[in-house]
């Protein structure tokens, strides 16, 4: 079936394209579009212009049937979940581990810093490997590496074994973040722009939930079982993820300039041979000239990471994610401490139950994203007579970033300082998680749309911004609170969260100008072409639009 026939056939059952799972994007014949200026473009059944424009090749990931897209998205989300959960699987087991290793709980917590450091470095090292082996191959082998390191961690027990355990966690960190970071690029490669808001909302929620799932599970495990069981379940989970990648994975790369697969080599049609091509080692599904692509990837990564757009969006994400991590690190300490030390004297199991407050915040965050992240930008575009600016996507971040998360951060500090009821702490935790979930997804979606040709490099750069601060938190939180007090520390954090919205305001104000100084030459030309086309479609004179005017 041709791509055009596929679009028309799928359009018959499409209603209004409200959810990712309910629809498949389709295109209309040009004659169905009343505006002749848009002739030759493709649209969804609900009349939304498809961005990016798909090719006529059914192998194009944008033309894949929706069930296949959902399957790919599903295995990326599952891989993200088990990867991050594996990284923090021992958070609530630290006191028990400290006794086993013969060290202090503070020293045992350095293993968390080791794995977080690996999560920062790993994707930076592996991002170029995507251009050599393909994204599915990198994810598959990374999952197997996590399986191996989890076994290593489980076997590192007894006095004197902490160095071996810490080494296993540092190496695990190099691979636990692979699927998480590369998921952002896969979303951009298989979904159209008007679908990505919902996809990124789900993805961001998975990231948040997985970060609390590891501690939640470990809290229940160490109450009744030896601490190595905290890692044995991750062996099975990551092994299952690797199996899913092998059976369901498919390469999502596509050469949009020439509208063809990245590699000119023919990929076998039979299932088994295609699996072998994809994963052993995957070099037939990527473009030739691999060493040049490696150099290009690192060059692009550096340019993206230090571009004005990425710096502003990255610092914004760093701030809103930082307090989520800071609260997550402090919750078990606060709950486990005895009442005489301003704690609550919770058992590990009770702390595990408490972590469900974070699950609630994340689920409300994904509901908010699914309802708002795509609808609000499209509504603004409609109000502006069809004129589109990528910054429209950032409007969804105002409510969580300016209202919910600052209140949650301040309430968390007040609950700790005044030793309020633990349910106040739970509400604050839920608000912080909601804010982080709802703030980060539009920022990631925005930067990926700006650097649309390099989604993997964007995901890697933003990961460095988000996680780097998380590594440092354990080293500066205690001195900070001793110096200024818990109330001032968390109060300052709340005001910094409000300040982060100034960064979003700058992107609104000067977004188009900043994009000119951020984009690579080929992307800048494409950006101007799309902007002029948007002006013509909206019937807005170019002279009325100034830099940053939205």
Query: What residues contact residue 52 under an 8 Å CB cut-off, 6+ apart?
Result: 62, 192, 193, 256, 452
pLDDT tens-place string over residues 281-300: 777 888 777 778 788 889 99
Same-domain status, 436 and 501: yes
**Taking a C-beta distance cutoff of 8 angstroms, is the pair 354, 426 a contact?**
yes
3 state SS of 221: helix
As a whole number of angstroms, the distance between CA 367 and CA 291 comes to: 43
Q: Which domain holds residue 11?
A: 3-38
Same-domain status, 11 and 67: no
Same-domain status, 459 and 393: yes
As a whole number of angstroms, the distance between CA 120 and CA 368 comes to: 28
Same-domain status, 30 and 100: no
- Name the pLDDT band for 524 (thresholds 50, 70, 90): low
* Domain harbouring 426, CATH code: 1.20.1250.20
Average pLDDT of every residue of the chain: 85
Q: Region 127-138: what's the mean pLDDT? A: 90
| Overall domain count for the chain | 2
Q: Pick the most confident of 223-232, 252-261, 534-543.
A: 223-232
Indicate if the pLDDT at residue 192 is higher than 80: yes
- Name the pLDDT band for 537 (thresholds 50, 70, 90): low
Same-domain status, 20 and 147: no
Burial of 483 (0-12, 13-18, 19+ CB in 10 A): exposed
Same-domain status, 477 and 334: yes
* pLDDT above 70 as % of the chain: 87
pLDDT at 354: 93
Same-domain status, 18 and 102: no
As a whole number of angstroms, the distance between CA 318 and CA 325 comes to: 10
3 state SS of 475: helix
Q: Which of 17-26, 141-150, 354-363, 380-389 has the lowest mean pLDDT?
A: 17-26
Same-domain status, 26 and 71: no
Indicate if the pLDDT at residue 232 is higher than 60: yes
Same-domain status, 293 and 405: yes
**Taking a C-beta distance cutoff of 8 angstroms, is the pair 135, 251 a contact?**
yes
Q: Which of 12-26, 307-321, 354-368 has the lowest mean pLDDT?
A: 12-26
Residue 121, in any domain of the structure: yes
As a whole number of angstroms, the distance between CA 396 and CA 441 comes to: 9
As a whole number of angstroms, the distance between CA 380 and CA 492 comes to: 34
Which of 86 and 466 is assigned the larger pLDDT?
86
Indicate if the pLDDT at residue 142 is higher than 70: yes
Token pair 């027990």 in the structure block, residue: 157
Same-domain status, 33 and 66: no
For residue 385, whether the previous peptide bond is cis, meaning omega lies within 30 degrees of 0, is: no
Same-domain status, 466 and 526: yes
As a whole number of angstroms, the distance between CA 37 and CA 28 comes to: 15
pLDDT tens-place string over residues 485-523: 999 999 999 999 999 999 999 999 998 888 887 776 656
pLDDT tens-place string over residues 348-405: 889 889 989 999 999 999 999 999 998 999 899 888 888 888 899 999 999 999 999 9
Residue 11, in any domain of the structure: yes
Nearest C-alpha neighbor of 541 from the set 532, 550, 530: 532
- The encoded tokens of residue 27 equal 């295109």
Residue 241, in any domain of the structure: yes
- Name the pLDDT band for 137 (thresholds 50, 70, 90): very high
Residue 54, in any domain of the structure: no
pLDDT at 467: 83
Query: What residues contact residue 118 under an 8 Å CB cut-off, 6+ apart?
Result: 169, 170, 171, 172, 173, 174, 175, 176, 177
**Taking a C-beta distance cutoff of 8 angstroms, is the pair 359, 513 a contact?**
no
As a whole number of angstroms, the distance between CA 44 and CA 450 comes to: 22
Indicate if the pLDDT at residue 219 is higher than 90: no
**Taking a C-beta distance cutoff of 8 angstroms, is the pair 44, 62 a contact?**
no
Report pTM: 0.82
Query: What residues contact residue 410 under an 8 Å CB cut-off, 6+ apart?
Result: 490, 491, 494
Same-domain status, 288 and 325: yes
As a whole number of angstroms, the distance between CA 34 and CA 47 comes to: 11
As a whole number of angstroms, the distance between CA 106 and CA 98 comes to: 8
pLDDT tens-place string over residues 409-456: 999 999 999 999 999 999 999 999 999 999 998 999 999 988 888 888
Indicate if the pLDDT at residue 328 is higher than 90: no
Nearest C-alpha neighbor of 309 from the set 505, 515, 457: 515
pLDDT tens-place string over residues 94-110: 889 999 999 988 788 88
Bridge-partner residues for 255, per DSSP? Answer: 260
Residue 97, in any domain of the structure: yes
**Taking a C-beta distance cutoff of 8 angstroms, is the pair 181, 68 a contact?**
no
Residue 548, in any domain of the structure: no
- Name the pLDDT band for 12 (thresholds 50, 70, 90): very low
pLDDT tens-place string over residues 63-95: 999 999 999 999 999 999 999 999 999 988 888
pLDDT tens-place string over residues 27-66: 444 334 444 445 578 888 888 888 888 998 998 999 999 9
Residue 46, in any domain of the structure: no
Indicate if the pLDDT at residue 480 is higher than 60: yes
Residue 49, in any domain of the structure: no
């Amino acid at each position: 079936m041709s791509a055009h026939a596929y679009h028309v056939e799928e359009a018959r059952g499409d209603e209004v394209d409200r959810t990712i799972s309910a629809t498949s994007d389709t295109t209309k014949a040009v004659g169905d579009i009343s505006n002749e200026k848009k002739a030759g473009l493709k649209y969804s059944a609900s009349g939304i212009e498809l961005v990016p424009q798909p090719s006529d090749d059914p192998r194009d990931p944008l033309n894949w049937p929706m069930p296949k897209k959902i399957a790919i998205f599903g295995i990326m989300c599952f891989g993200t979940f088990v990867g991050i959960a594996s990284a923090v699987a021992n958070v609530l087991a630290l006191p028990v581990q400290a006794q086993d290793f013969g060290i202090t709980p503070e020293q045992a917590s350095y293993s968390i810093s080791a794995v977080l450091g690996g999560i920062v470095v790993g994707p930076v090292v592996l991002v170029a490997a995507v251009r050599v082996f393909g994204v599915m191959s990198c994810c598959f082998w990374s999952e197997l590496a996590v399986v191996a390191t989890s076994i290593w961690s489980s076997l590192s027990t007894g006095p004197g074994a902490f160095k071996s355990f810490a080494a296993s966690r540092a190496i695990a960190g190099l691979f636990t973040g692979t699927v998480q970071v590369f998921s952002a690029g896969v979303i951009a490669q298989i979904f159209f722009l008007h679908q990505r808001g919902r996809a990124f909302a789900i993805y961001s929620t998975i990231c948040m939930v997985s970060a609390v799932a590891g501690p939640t599970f470990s809290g229940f495990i160490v109450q009744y079982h030896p601490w190595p069981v905290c890692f044995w379940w991750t062996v099975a989970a990551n092994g299952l993820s690797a199996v899913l990648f092998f059976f369901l994975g498919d390469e999502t790369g596509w050469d949009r300039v020439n509208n063809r697969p990245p590699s000119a080599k023919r990929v076998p049609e039979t299932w088994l041979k295609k699996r072998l091509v994809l994963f052993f080692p995957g070099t037939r599904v990527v473009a030739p000239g691999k060493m040049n692509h490696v150099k290009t990837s690192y060059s692009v990564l550096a340019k993206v990471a230090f571009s004005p757009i990425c710096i502003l969006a990255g610092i914004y994400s760093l701030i809103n994610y930082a307090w989520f991590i800071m609260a997550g690190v402090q919750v078990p300490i606060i709950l486990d401490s005895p009442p005489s030390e301003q704690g609550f004297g919770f058992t590990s199991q009770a702390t595990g139950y408490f972590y469900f407050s974070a699950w609630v915040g994340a689920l409300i965050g994904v509901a908010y994203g699914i309802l708002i992240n795509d609808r609000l930008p499209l509504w603004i575009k409609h109000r502006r007579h069809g004129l589109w600016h990528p910054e429209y996507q950032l409007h969804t971040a105002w409510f969580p970033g300016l209202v919910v998360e600052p209140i949650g951060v301040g309430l968390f500090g007040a609950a700790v300082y005044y030793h309020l009821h633990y349910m106040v702490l739970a509400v604050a935790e839920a608000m912080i998680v909601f804010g982080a979930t709802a703030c980060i997804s539009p920022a990631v979606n925005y930067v990926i749309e700006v650097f649309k040709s390099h989604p993997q490099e964007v995901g890697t750069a933003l990961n460095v911004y988000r996680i780097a601060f998380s590594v440092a938190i354990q080293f500066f939180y205690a001195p900070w609170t001793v110096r200024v007090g818990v109330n001032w520390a968390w109060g300052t954090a709340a005001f910094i969260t409000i300040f982060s919205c100034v960064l979003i305001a700058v992107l609104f104000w000067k977004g188009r100008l900043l994009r000119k100084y951020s984009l690579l030459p080929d992307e800048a030309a494409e950006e101007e072409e799309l902007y002029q086309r948007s002006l013509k479609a909206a019937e807005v004179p170019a002279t009325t639009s100034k830099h940053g005017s939205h």
